[in-house]
Structure 1
Amino acid sequence: MPLQEIGFLTLVGTAYTLKFLWAPLVDRYAPPLLGRRRSWMFMTQLLLALAIMGMGLLSPSTALLPLALLAVAVAFFSATQDIAFDAYRSDVLRTEERGAGAALSVMGYRLAMLVSAGLAFIVADKWLGWGNTYIVLGALMGLLSIATLLAPEPDAPAAVPRTLARAVTEPLREFFQRPEAWVLLLLIVLYKLGDAFAGALSTTFLIRGAGFTATEVGSVNKVLGLAATIIGALAGGALMARMGLYRSLMLFGLLQAVSNLGYWLIAISPKSIWLMAMAIGVENLCGGLGTAAFVALLMGLCDRRFSATQFALLSALSAVGRTYLAGPLTPPLVESLGWPTFFMLTVFIALPGLALLRWRRADIERLDREG
């Protein structure tokens, strides 16, 4: 297999990390089909359907390069759909609906992962084979685009930036003109940092540190972890409607931090599959709560004129802690402290974000009032 062709495969995931680069195009332009956001969503969904079905017609053994190029195209179309959908969600939801909207988004994302990464394997292995499975998945993508046609438009569509240059510069200018801009950016990095540290090597800990098999860990994570995350996100959306954004962020953030103690308990206790299941269930439940509130916060921070660009940038920033702090620092911390002390430390790593949230309470509550 030529190295040049293999190299293309490394490009597949790049689109998701760089999508903020072409997000201004989604803010500035719109295909003349539906509304400003739905037109991009519908177009990318149809392109995704065609590209996925095209992948099903190719064989890796005889057409690796065309297959890799199609995979890159799928990633690009999917990332563009994410840009448009995040912007649409920010534009169409009223303030009191953001919690529920964030919760349903988390649920949809998790269920899509289950279908594409779990159910698709079973269908391909037992019945259809990979080529036909890709064709079915592409057809399903095209069928689901009907939901975009039926989706409502925002009550008051925002003005479109007059030029592409303004679509690039005005989102940044608008955000950084806010007095609290830099503090809010720091809050975005810190809010889920304790969660990121605890999760960075959680699977490694459960297998190597706690002695569970990969099958045990995978089964509990896929079934209980998925269910707990969905329940947490839905509960978070329901509670946010009553509690408001600030109180939800504070309560769910505290629960996120405390839930890391489940891993600490595993580290100091005799091996028990039930203890592992409880710890993973609680951690994913609290993580789902925190994610719902965090996505609602990002939506609230976006100006509807530039929601595609601003949401893409803010969501990229939210990955900074996980990518550049938790990833590199977790291994040396574990080696020097040991697993029990490390997981105890992750609770304290979460506290600066909560302290910052408390300090900027007035800013968060203003987002709730102003919508």
Structure 2
Amino acid sequence: MAEAAAKTKPGWGTLARSLKNPKSGFMALFGFAQGLPPALFLGTLYAWLSEAEVDLETMGVFSLVGLAYAFQFLWSPLLDKVDIPGLRRLGKRKQWIAPMQLTVGIALLVMSFLDPGSALGWFSLLAAIGAFASATQDIAINAWRIDVADEVATLDILSTITQMGFRMAALVGGALGLIIAERIGWPQTYLIMGGIMLAIGIASLFAPDADVAKRSAATDAAADAEVAELYNAGEVTPQVRNRALLAVGILWAWAIGTVVVFMVRSMTAMPEDRPDVTLFTATYGPLIVLATVVLPAFIAAWVARQKRNGTNVITAAPGVGAGHKVTFADHLYRALVLPLVEFVGRIGWSLVLILALVLTYRICDSIWGVFAYPFYLGELGYTGDEVAFASKFFGVFAIILGLALGGWIITKFGRMFTLTLGAILAAATNLLYADLAAGGATMQAASDFIGFTKLIAWMAPFGSEGLPRLTFTIFWENLAIGIAGAAYIAWLSSIVAKEYAAVQYALLASLTLLVGTLGRGALGQMIEDRGYYFVFIFTALIGVVAVVLCIMEWIREARGGKDAGVVQPDPVVARGA
């Protein structure tokens, strides 16, 4: 009994056992593979282009590759229900993960042999291919994490590990990439990074895959049998399914077509005729979210209601091979509409609460991020070296520390406690920045009191008198981001169904990303009109809304919503804590 109790006792022991599991090692590798390509395609690449004297308007075209990450949910249904010929034996998720990682690696290697000044067309094409492959592997890796989680390598720990790997990759591809390029050159740097991605792609072949993947990707006959279950008694009639499929299909086709047309226009038009990326995202982003998430959710709710009320449902199942032939529309419905029907049917009206939490939880740091450097360099007058030290080196260390601390808090006190704590800390750190915008007297006094000022003076003798308070503020903000990030990814992973993980997770994650992108224009105008101090107070208030929503979601799960809406139980609640 004592031994069993020790095995289930939350805390460092649970964390240690999870980290020893091979799945945790591959999760760290996959997290690194998720973080490296965005750093190289959307960040470090601009330094190479600047050195090659590529004009700013042309650089703007390269920002289009970011749309692959923002709208990755548009092709996520393919990864749930489509097999790559000859690769399905790798597993449902690995058949997409390994090839995409190898594609990214090859793109980086080929780029290393090109001169961006003279081969800009090939350069942009390779960046687009690499970003698309990177976004696709993200979909598959997020689903893999949900599939393989078990009682040892828990979903919470795997979610924390993937964030750690991601942050380490951002540091390697960002700050470290710049340092390496300064010494050996950009082509050699991208050659090294491409080699790293190829090595990860090969290592991915040996990662475990979930039993559900083997079952669902076995043969076409098995897939037909799964689709045939749509004709069981109690399922909605083919007429209802076809209407839902037609409506959702038209909406998604419009969204995909809009994004493709915009990218083609941007890549082929003359510089003076290129559409504005920011304007497109602000104008069409909400419409795409409406067409691919909001309206399909209402359609899915209508289908779920038909099934629940017993109206327009099949009363006598014909059985497989008894007068029923599986059609292409059946497969398309299962890939595109059924994940939404399952999610809405399982969650019910609580979906409103969940979407509100998704839209607000990370809004503080996702919107504020693009204004960080103008605030540090322009408003506060720090040098580039000082900002690099505080944010890139000390800040990344703080995030990793926060992720580790968040992982331990989850195992000790539970997922929802950590999610709520992360929301409180994220909101509170905006007040620290408000103090910094007002002169930073409180931050300076706190830094002096705990001896932080002397530490920074020793670590960064090149810094100004104000560097300790900047580093002190960034440290606490990034620590909070780490804790909140660990809890948020774990919670987001827990509310989707394993069978439809790729689609459901991609939709929710894209909402998190898009809301930050769409809100930056308004926040920028607010900074111009009111100043940074007011904006930090405002974002802190938004954070308070997220805290309230976390508490409401916590109560919902505690009252029984967990059984209907969460895939994996919270580790502490499951132990009766």
Q: What's 1:92 paired with?
A: 148
The one of the two structures with greater contact order (alpha-carbon pairs below 8 A, sep at least 6) is 1
Q: Which one of 504, 516, 541 corresponds to residue 310 of structure 1? A: 504
Q: What's 2:72 paired with?
A: 19
Check whether the contact 1:25–1:164 (CA below 8 A) recurs between aligned residues.
no
Q: What's 1:207 paired with?
A: 377
Q: CA deviation at 1:168?
A: 0.9
1:251 aligns with 2:445: no
Structure 2: how far apart are the matches of 1:321 and 1:148? 32
Structure 1: how far apart are the matches of 2:400 and 2:506? 23
Check whether the contact 2:79–2:96 (CA below 8 A) recurs between aligned residues.
yes
1:9 aligns with 2:62: yes
Q: What's 2:471 paired with?
A: 277
Q: Which one of 81, 84, 93 corresponds to residue 28 of structure 1? A: 81
SS of equivalent residue, structure 2 residue 90: coil
Gaps of 5+ in 1: none
Q: Which one of 412, 430, 435 corresponds to residue 265 of structure 1? A: 435
Structure 2: how far apart are the matches of 1:2 and 1:108? 33
Q: 1:291 to 1:370 in 2, by over 3 A?
A: closer
Structure 2: how far apart are the matches of 1:299 and 1:57? 39
TM-score, with normalisation over the residues of structure 2?
0.60
Q: Which letter does structure 2 place at the counterpart of 1:80?
A: T
Q: What's 1:166 paired with?
A: 334
Q: Which one of 124, 142, 154 corresponds to residue 181 of structure 2? A: 124
Structure 2: how far apart are the matches of 1:214 and 1:124? 18
Q: 1:5 to 1:358 in 2, by over 3 A?
A: closer
Check whether the contact 2:434–2:537 (CA below 8 A) recurs between aligned residues.
yes
Structure 2: how far apart are the matches of 1:237 and 1:69? 39
Structure 1: how far apart are the matches of 2:524 and 2:107? 39
Deviates most, 57-66 or 247-256: 57-66
Q: Which letter does structure 2 place at the counterpart of 1:306?
A: Y
1:333 aligns with 2:526: yes
Check whether the contact 1:232–1:286 (CA below 8 A) recurs between aligned residues.
yes
1:236 aligns with 2:429: no
Q: CA deviation at 1:14?
A: 2.0
Equivalent residues in 2 for 1:42-61 (5 A)? Answer: 42-61=98-117
Cα deviation 1:305-362 (Å, max 9, x = unaligned): 111111111100112331222x122233334433333322322111112212222324
Deviates most, 210-219 or 231-240: 210-219
1:320 aligns with 2:514: yes
Q: 1:144 to 1:62 in 2, by over 3 A?
A: same
Structure 2: how far apart are the matches of 1:320 and 1:4? 23
Q: What's 1:176 paired with?
A: 344
Structure 1: how far apart are the matches of 2:439 and 2:60? 45
Q: Which letter does structure 2 place at the counterpart of 1:45?
A: Q
Check whether the contact 2:70–2:514 (CA below 8 A) recurs between aligned residues.
no
Structure 2: how far apart are the matches of 1:337 and 1:7? 29
Structure 2: how far apart are the matches of 1:283 and 1:333? 22
Q: CA deviation at 1:5?
A: 7.8
1:342 aligns with 2:535: yes
Check whether the contact 2:361–2:423 (CA below 8 A) recurs between aligned residues.
yes
Q: CA deviation at 1:18?
A: 1.7
SS of equivalent residue, structure 2 residue 337: helix
Check whether the contact 2:391–2:474 (CA below 8 A) recurs between aligned residues.
yes
Check whether the contact 1:194–1:348 (CA below 8 A) recurs between aligned residues.
no
Deviates most, 270-279 or 336-345: 336-345
SS of equivalent residue, structure 1 residue 14: helix
Q: 1:337 to 1:2 in 2, by over 3 A?
A: closer
Q: CA deviation at 1:33?
A: 3.7
Q: 1:65 to 1:335 in 2, by over 3 A?
A: closer
Q: CA deviation at 1:210?
A: 2.1
Q: Which one of 194, 203, 210 corresponds to residue 138 of structure 1? A: 194
Q: 1:149 to 1:349 in 2, by over 3 A?
A: same
Structure 2: how far apart are the matches of 1:258 and 1:99? 24
> Percentage identity across aligned positions?
32
Q: CA deviation at 1:219?
A: 2.1
1:290 aligns with 2:346: no
Deviates most, 70-79 or 316-325: 316-325
Q: CA deviation at 1:290?
A: 0.5
Q: Which letter does structure 2 place at the counterpart of 1:145?
A: G
Cα deviation 1:281-317 (Å, max 9, x = unaligned): 0000001110111111110121111111111111001
Deviates most, 117-126 or 218-227: 117-126
Q: 1:58 to 1:33 in 2, by over 3 A?
A: farther
> Larger Cα Rg: Structure 1 or Structure 2?
2
Q: Which letter does structure 2 place at the counterpart of 1:150?
A: F
1:351 aligns with 2:544: yes
Q: What's 1:369 paired with?
A: 569
TM-score, with normalisation over the residues of structure 1?
0.91
Deviates most, 196-205 or 182-191: 196-205
Structure 2: how far apart are the matches of 1:28 and 1:104? 27
Q: 1:193 to 1:14 in 2, by over 3 A?
A: closer
Question: How large is the RMSD of aligned CA atoms in angstroms?
Answer: 2.5
Aligned residues: 369
Q: Which letter does structure 2 place at the counterpart of 1:360?
A: E
Q: CA deviation at 1:198?
A: 4.5
Q: Which letter does structure 1 place at the counterpart of 2:523?
A: T
Equivalent residues in 2 for 1:185-196 (5 A)? Answer: 185-196=355-366
Check whether the contact 2:93–2:140 (CA below 8 A) recurs between aligned residues.
yes
Q: Which letter does structure 1 place at the counterpart of 2:479?
A: L
Q: CA deviation at 1:50?
A: 1.6
SS of equivalent residue, structure 1 residue 360: helix
Structure 2: how far apart are the matches of 1:27 and 1:41? 13
Structure 1: how far apart are the matches of 2:378 and 2:80? 47
Gaps of 5+ in 2: 1-53, 218-225, 228-330, 441-464, 572-577
1:108 aligns with 2:165: yes
Q: CA deviation at 1:111?
A: 1.2
Q: 1:240 to 1:25 in 2, by over 3 A?
A: same
Q: CA deviation at 1:204?
A: 1.9
